[in-house]
Structure 1
Amino acid sequence: MALTFTEEQEQLRTTLRRFLADKAPSAAVRRAMDSGEGYDPRLWRQMADQLGLHGLALPEAYGGFGGGPVELGIVLEELGRVLLPSPYFATVALAGQALAASNDEAAQARWLPAIADGSTTATLALAEESGSWRVEDVETTATHETVSGTKMFVVDGHTADLILVVARTGTGPGLFAVDGDAPGVTRTRLETLDPTRRLARVDLDGAPARRIGPDGDASAYLRTVLDLVAVALAAEQVGGAQACLDAAVEYAKVRVQFGRPIGSFQAVKHKCADLLVQVEGARSAAYHATTVADEGSSELPVSAALAAACCADAFTHAAKENIQIHGGIGYTWEHDAHLYLKRAKSSEQLFGGPAAHRARLADLVGI
């Protein structure tokens, strides 16, 4: 199992990093997060039209480029480095992967081409008032034609054109497609900790729905989707953690105290060194998980749980240490350090905290 990238994958990273440096500097990120949509629609179109990012990890038969979790991980790592406010994670990592893994050719033909060309945004709805992302905890119910449930908390749910809802049926959990503007759908944007990623409350009252994926109990398929989502988020967290490490090291080089750069002091040196070790460990866990996911290995649940716990911890630790090394300026609104900490904390709890992932990992390996 290789943990290295091909020349084409490295070119993808280089091209995207250059693109984001030009199109998504800090000032642009702040404008987008404060806008009504919560993202820049023009940049969204450029990501699709100029770079083909939306279809990168989707099947060629449905307008994609036939990549997989490794390519998606590269994109998310780079987006995470700049905290880009965008429905990309919800549309591609959540809904796109769910559709691609469904083996439902009719559903894929209907929605994947529009996701690939950027004309449709989408998301996945599972978490309810309990905050759980376990399939067995879902209380939303569905028939073959409608879905009903309250207080579903959905990433980018306020703007998504398509909402894929996990709901209980008489034969077990299943996945259902609901139009974002359909009758019976009420969407409320929520004020959240992280201004760079929007969250909405979605209430469904007999909303028209279409079943996607396997009939009967679809728990196994849905758990696989959630593992793929956890791997995608881990890659994004690695990007954010690396950005925090880079910012901390750069500041330690240029900030002078008592006539010396603060990076020359042992306490700051050790902080940066320890942070490097943790970020590199998280990167290894994330890259391993994307490789396992790409190969369709049975090790995916273990690798996903490990990466989810490790990368969440690393990003939060890196964001905190970045603020500490910056000192007083790191606490100001004008500095971006607080944005990374807010993204780190919100991502840490998005699909269950590190403790939940560790508990799952222990169960999977029989500890």
Structure 2
Amino acid sequence: MTAQTDLLYSDTEDDLRAAVRALLADRAGHQTLLDRIETDSPYVPGLWKSLAGDIGAAGLLVPEELGGQGASHRETAVVLEELGRAVTPLPYLTSAVVATETLLGLAGEAGPAAELLASLASGERVAILAVPFSTAPHPAGTEGIQDGPVRGVADAAAADVFLVPRPDGLHAVPAADAVVTPLTPLDLTRPLAVVDAGGAEGVRLADGDAARAAVRRGLLAGAGLLASEQLGLAERCLEETVRYTRERHQFNRPVGSFQALKHRMAQLWLDVVGARAAARAAADALATGSPDAPLTVAVAQAYCSKVAVRAAEECVQLHGGIGMTWEHPAHLALKRAKSDQIALGSAGRHQDAIAALMDLPAPA
């Protein structure tokens, strides 16, 4: 008999959640974020050092012998839930998950990949995989990689080094040797840019086949744990909506007591519960190295991306007029949810992957 999967949060995960939530509440509240998006950079100064280095969150996926914490995707998912709740602008998903997992696919022996991993685990450096943020983790999404400018690279502005896939393999290129041209993103808390590292040789980390396998591994982990970010965002939107509708009165009654709004929030609660199950299953499958991880990740992404968008839309709408204003943080959640909806593969791409993995007719 196979062991039953336990998707409940452990005491260690609860303690980690409390530490991250306290840090974000103190250093990256909504007013701070609203102020930061009016500047050239949304990143809160010093926050990455506190989360990645002081708490040690950047090295959760990295084994202890390589300088990390030796934890797993389950603990990393908890961090992303909290970052999603607060819509925090940090390169955690892109560096501590996607880039780190890519390097873990190459770090079997001592070498440049292992050395770079140690610096990422300590929070001293930030590495970004130079592929469009919309790239899906399926083989079709990583084929046809060509050298040249890459459009839509997330968190490129925070990078110390780029992991650049090329036809001959994967190269580590210092950010100072690449040309980074900022774009105007929908989600102002996750900057996008065009990265041109064609003029820099960098350090070759792996050849073509090994590089493609490592990139797919990084993107798969990113897609699976992105579901946890979407879960955290949806939970916060639901909580804030329930709180507001309890406080807002019309006709001398809380608007949350109106039956039509009760039904909408009850249905959203059911959706969030389903999203939690899907996101936790994806994190557990990645943590245990399950052969079903690609399927579990595809299911989580196909479901959680839609729930996050719906929760953010309901948050804006049920806050009434104030929810439509720039001064209220609801728009930050909606923009993050809409941006995440096409990140690391759209829901349609993941549904196609589910069909292929289960040998079913693809949806029209």
TM-score, structure 1 length as denominator? 0.91
Encode CA deviations 1:37-65: one digit per residue, 9 max, x unaligned.
Answer: 33023121122343111122212122211
Encode CA deviations 1:266-296: one digit per residue, 9 max, x unaligned.
Answer: 1100110010011110110000110010000
Confirm whether residue 280 of structure 1 aligns to residue 285 of structure 2: no
Q: Which of 14, 23, 42 is equivalent to 2:18?
A: 14
Encode CA deviations 1:152-174: one digit per residue, 9 max, x unaligned.
Answer: 321111331111122323xxxx4
Cα 1:153/1:163, change in 2 over 3 Å: same
Q: Which of 121, 136, 140 is equivalent to 1:116?
A: 121
Q: Which of 222, 227, 232 is equivalent to 1:234?
A: 227
Q: Which blocks of at least 5 consecutive residues in structure 2 are unaligned?
A: none
- The answer to which of 156-165 and 268-277 deviates more is 156-165
Confirm whether residue 340 of structure 1 aligns to residue 340 of structure 2: no
Tell whether the 8 Å contact from 2:187 to 2:336 is kept in structure 1 after alignment.
yes
Tell whether the 8 Å contact from 1:140 to 1:150 is kept in structure 2 after alignment.
no
Report the Cα offset of residue 179 of structure 1. 1.4
Match of 2:90 in 1: 86
Cα 1:81/1:269, change in 2 over 3 Å: same
Tell whether the 8 Å contact from 2:244 to 2:319 is kept in structure 1 after alignment.
yes
Tell whether the 8 Å contact from 2:173 to 2:197 is kept in structure 1 after alignment.
no
Tell whether the 8 Å contact from 2:167 to 2:208 is kept in structure 1 after alignment.
no
Match of 1:175 in 2: 170
- The answer to which of 26-35 and 195-204 deviates more is 26-35
Tell whether the 8 Å contact from 1:139 to 1:167 is kept in structure 2 after alignment.
no
* 1:194-213 to 2 correspondences below 5 Å: 194-213=187-206
* CA distance in 2 between partners of 1:132 and 1:8 (Å): 33
Tell whether the 8 Å contact from 1:124 to 1:163 is kept in structure 2 after alignment.
yes
Cα 1:338/1:187, change in 2 over 3 Å: same
Match of 2:313 in 1: 320
- Aligned with 2:7: secondary structure? coil
Match of 2:301 in 1: 308
* CA distance in 2 between partners of 1:107 and 1:178 (Å): 12
* CA distance in 1 between partners of 2:208 and 2:249 (Å): 64
Match of 1:161 in 2: 160
* CA distance in 2 between partners of 1:351 and 1:91 (Å): 14
* CA distance in 2 between partners of 1:274 and 1:225 (Å): 34
Confirm whether residue 299 of structure 1 aligns to residue 292 of structure 2: yes
Report the Cα offset of residue 132 of structure 1. 4.4
Q: Which of 122, 127, 140 is equivalent to 2:132?
A: 127
- Aligned with 2:37: secondary structure? helix
Report the Cα offset of residue 135 of structure 1. 4.8
- Aligned with 1:187: secondary structure? strand
- Aligned with 1:201: secondary structure? strand
Tell whether the 8 Å contact from 2:181 to 2:195 is kept in structure 1 after alignment.
yes
Cα 1:18/1:246, change in 2 over 3 Å: same
Match of 2:356 in 1: 363
Encode CA deviations 1:15-46: one digit per residue, 9 max, x unaligned.
Answer: 22122222221122223333333302312112
- Among all aligned residue pairs of Structure 1 and Structure 2, give the percentage whose two residues are the same amino acid: 38
Report the Cα offset of residue 192 of structure 1. 0.8
Match of 1:26 in 2: 30
Q: What amino acid is the match of 2:196? A: D
Q: What amino acid is the match of 2:115? A: R
What count of residue pairs does the alignment treat as equivalent? 353
What is the aligned-residue RMSD (CA, Å)?
1.9
Q: Which blocks of at least 5 consecutive residues in structure 1 are unaligned?
A: 142-147
Encode CA deviations 1:166-196: one digit per residue, 9 max, x unaligned.
Answer: 2323xxxx432221112xx221011111111
Cα 1:201/1:177, change in 2 over 3 Å: same
* CA distance in 2 between partners of 1:135 and 1:189 (Å): 28
* CA distance in 2 between partners of 1:113 and 1:132 (Å): 26
Report the Cα offset of residue 303 of structure 1. 0.5
Cα 1:119/1:219, change in 2 over 3 Å: closer
Determine which structure has the larger strand proportion and give its number. Answer: 1
Match of 1:100 in 2: 104
Cα 1:90/1:356, change in 2 over 3 Å: same
* CA distance in 1 between partners of 2:160 and 2:21 (Å): 28
TM-score, structure 2 length as denominator? 0.91
Match of 1:64 in 2: 68
Q: Which of 186, 189, 193 is equivalent to 2:182?
A: 189
